[in-house]
Structures are given as C-alpha cells and as structure tokens.
A and B are shown apart, each in its own frame.
Chain A
Amino acid sequence: MKLSEVQEILRADVLYGADKLDREVMSACGSDFMSDVLAYVKNQALLLTGLVNPQVIRTADMMDMKCIAFVRGKKPDDSVLALAQERDIVVMCTPMRMYDACGKLYIKGLRGEV
C-alpha cells in the first residue's frame, strides 16, 4: 500500500515526508510496546503507536520501517521529528484511535503478516 493511501485512510496529517508518500509499505503493526514491535521483523512496514518519544523513531529505524503513524492525535516534539528526518522515516498523525486506525487499514488490505 502506498503511503498516500495510508494517509487518506487514516485522515492523517503528514508531519515529515510529504514528498515521500509514493513509498510502499508491505505490512503494519500497532503497539505501544517497542520490544513487542522489535520481536517480529516486518518487511517495509508501517508502525502505528500512541507513544511519542525518540525511542519510537529508533525502534522503527532498527527495523528498517518506512513510516510511523501516531494515533489519537498525538504529536511528537521537534526533536523527535528531527530524528525521523535524519533517519528518513515518514511521520504522520491521525485523530483515530489505535483500534480504528488498524482496522481501517486492515480491511483495505494492509496486513500484519506479509
């Protein structure tokens, strides 16, 4: 799924990487536990989380993830966005809650397992 479609489905604001929405994600996961995210390697993945701290960006970076969508309208501060920019990870912010955001992406075909 293209990130532009992710943005549309989640009605998300793009906080970093508006020019990179033609990138594809193959799978997604939603969690506020970074070690759970790290437990299963995903291919070209999207991370949905309600946590907004630098460790979210670092976790995504270690996993080679392409995009982070912060749920429940949470916005990271500038230092977190700067880190995302440095690691070239697209950042979005959706007003949806975790359950709804995951469900909407899932029914459009973006699954947890590739």
Chain B
Amino acid sequence: MEPVKLVYPVEGGDLIEAGEASSKMKLTLKKLGLPPDVIRRASICMYEGEINMVIHADGGRAEVDVGMEEITIRMIDQGPGIPDVNKAMEEGYSTAGDMARDLGFGAGMGLPNMKRYSDEMEIETAVGSGTTVTIKIKI
C-alpha cells in the first residue's frame, strides 16, 4: 500500500456537529482495508482530539498520514494553548464549560483517552499561540 496523506478541516463553534472529520477518516481507513482495532483506536483518538479542538480552540485541522507500519494523526490548532500539560493529562481534570458537559464531554477524559489508545503521543503547546497533539498508532 502506498502511503496516504489526508487533511481534514475542523470547524470551530458548533460542538453539536463536531466529529464529522473523524467519521470521514474512519470511512477512508475502512476503504484502505486496515484492521478493525487499528481503525477503532485511530477514530477514537481523532474524535476526542476533534471535540477538544472545538471546545477549546475554535477548530483547527487534522493531518493524517497512513504509512506501511503506522498511522500518524496531527491535531493542529491556533487556540489558547494548554498552560499545564501534566494537569491536562490527569483523568477527570477539565476546563470545559457547560455546553460541552451538556453533550456528554468535559469529563476530563479527552487527552487521557488519546493516550490510552495510541502507541505514542506528543503535545506541543504554547499559551496564546496554539497546540499540536501528535499521536501514532502502530498497524
């Protein structure tokens, strides 16, 4: 299989519609014939990342590289950045508002879930200029 590069814009503002990019990626990964558990892990990671992006950063974009041995997903935003990454990685810690909570998010599980399902995860963030979360999933 040739390496595939996918780019998905993530619209900000509308949390009710969030998740479309992840759904599209999931369909594409299915068409590429990847194993179901790899597709599921990648989809959950990107979905959590997408929700985070809409809640905290007014959207951004997702870049997905599907290689021979791994999938790399980069969630890139120009949001407010994460002041304390260690705190943000704690299960149960959240700064999300009521809107997110009403929809079933904001329980402080987003980043921990991305860590749980990925083989590698890296967060580059700067307060005031944005965050890039990169995760890798082995195929």
Contact = CB atoms under 8 A, between A and B. Distances in A.
Contact residues of A: prevailing secondary structure: helix
B40 interface: yes
A64 B84 CA distance: 33
Most B C-beta atoms less than 10 A away, residue of A39, A53, A55: A55
Given A55-B19, A61-B26, A36 B36 contact: no
A106 interface: no
Interface in B3-40: 15-19, 22-23, 26, 36-37, 40
Interface string B100-114: 000111011110110
Contacts of A33: 104-105, 107, 109
Residues of B contacting A: mostly: helix
A10 B16 CA distance: 28
Given A35-B113, A39-B109, A62 B104 contact: no
B125 interface: no
Query: Which of B16, B19, B116 counts the most A-chain CB atoms under 10 A from its CB?
Result: B19
B72 interface: no
A79 B18 CA distance: 14
Contacts of A56: 104
Which of A32, A38, A39, A51: most chain B CB closer than 10 A? Answer: A38
B109 A38 contact: yes
B44 interface: yes
Interface of A: 32-36, 38-39, 41, 49, 51, 53-56, 58-59, 61-64
Given A33-B107, A58-B23, 9 more contacts: A32-B104, A34-B103, A35-B107, A41-B37, A53-B103, A54-B16, A55-B15, A58-B22, A62-B22
